[in-house]
């Protein structure tokens, strides 16, 4: 089981809210796999990640990998859902352990949509 989680929110100053960029909202972002922490970043550019994930969902995701290239690091792709014959393998150069699990498309889609919803709730509060 894969789970995306956001904990804290580092908002831009009021002046920057007029024209926010993709990297101005930074979140403590975690990916857990079977209850074990796989990835964590305390200043994660979540809107940038969601841009790549949503673009992937809108394309032909059952035939393509999702590659998230961050402007904040040279270690890219920072998060990858690599398409395999029977599902998706997750990889990151910042991963905390090697994961051999294969995930179904609907699991990843559910977590991306939940992440978007969680972000909207956090911003609106």
pLDDT tens-digit readout, 62-103: 889 999 999 889 999 999 999 999 999 999 999 999 999 999
Q: Bigger pLDDT: 76 or 15? A: 76
Three-class secondary structure assignment of 7-20: EEEECCCHHHHHCC
On the question of pLDDT at 23 being above 60, the answer is: no
Q: Bigger pLDDT: 125 or 96? A: 96
β-strand partners of 94: none
Q: Which two tokens stand for residue 40?
A: 């964590």
β-strand partners of 88: 83, 103
Interatomic CA distance for residues 125 and 114, integer angstroms: 17
pLDDT at residue 16, as a whole number: 44
pLDDT at residue 62, as a whole number: 83
pLDDT at residue 123, as a whole number: 72
Q: Which domain holds residue 51?
A: 2-124
Where does the pLDDT of residue 4 fall: very low under 50, low under 70, confident under 90, or very high at 90 and above?
Answer: very high
Interatomic CA distance for residues 31 and 49, integer angstroms: 13
pLDDT at residue 2, as a whole number: 92
Tally of structural domains, the chain: 1
pTM of the model: 0.84
Interatomic CA distance for residues 75 and 20, integer angstroms: 25
On the question of pLDDT at 14 being above 50, the answer is: no
């Amino acid at each position: 089981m894969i789970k995306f989680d956001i904990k804290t929110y580092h908002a831009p100053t009021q002046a920057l809210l007029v024209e926010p960029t993709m990297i101005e909202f930074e979140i403590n972002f975690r990916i857990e796999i079977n209850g074990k922490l796989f990835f964590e970043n305390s200043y994660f550019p979540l809107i940038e990640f969601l841009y790549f994930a949503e673009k992937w969902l809108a394309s032909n995701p059952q035939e393509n990998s999702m590659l998230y290239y961050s402007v904040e690091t040279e270690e890219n792709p920072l998060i990858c859902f690599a398409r395999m014959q029977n599902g998706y393998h997750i990889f990151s150069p910042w991963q905390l352990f090697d994961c051999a699990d294969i995930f179904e498309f609907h699991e990843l889609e559910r977590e991306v949509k939940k992440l978007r919803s969680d972000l909207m709730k956090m911003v609106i509060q």
